Amino acid sequence: MGITRRWTTAAVAALAFIGGGVTVPAADAAASCRGYACDGKNPHTTGCDQDAKNVGNPIRGGGGPAVQLRTSARCSAAWVIIEKGDHAWRGWIQIRGGALYDVNAKPSRPAYSLMVGTSHAYRACKRDADGGTICGGWH
């Protein structure tokens, strides 16, 4: 009968420190913010995009690229992604009565906004072809 070993993230990190060459997989690394502490931070560099899920349907009306609201349960945070397109197209995530974090489309790839903690009331919005605003519901 063989012995089964299960390595914890802390054990792997300790081995990496002692012996070098062993790295902790990104999915196992702890997120660097949670809730309000994520306000204004990047979902990728904080690790919050590791468990990202789309919320509702993308906002497609008004021409231009769609804007999709995304959340991370791990970080209790939300942000928007705008599909690739001309940089003049703009989307954002808005906190009710507060800040908004906008993002312009990029021609080569989708782009994402900074985050807000999901304890806020928040929604996704985009600029339409006529310069008006189209927003999803509050969450």
CA distance 97 to 91: 18
**Looking at residue 29, what is its pLDDT?**
66
Please tell me the pTM assigned to this model.
Answer: 0.79
Q: What is the pLDDT of residue 83?
A: 97
Q: State residue 18's pLDDT score.
A: 41
How far, in Å, CA of 40 to CA of 33, rounded? 11
d(CA 120, CA 132): 24
d(C-alpha 38, C-alpha 48), whole Å: 9
CA angle (92, 94, 98) in 5-degree steps: 140
Q: pLDDT tens digits for 83-118?
A: 999 999 999 999 999 899 999 999 999 999 999 999
Instruction: Quote the pLDDT of residue 24.
Output: 40
* Per-residue pLDDT tens digits for 21-72: 433 444 556 789 999 999 999 999 999 999 999 999 999 999 999 999 999 9
Question: What are the C-alpha distances in Å from 76 to residues 8, 40, 73, 134, 137?
Answer: 24, 13, 5, 25, 18
Q: What is the rounded CA–CA span in Å between residue 91 and residue 124? A: 7
Q: Are the C-beta atoms of residues 23 and 98 closer than 8 Å to each other?
A: no
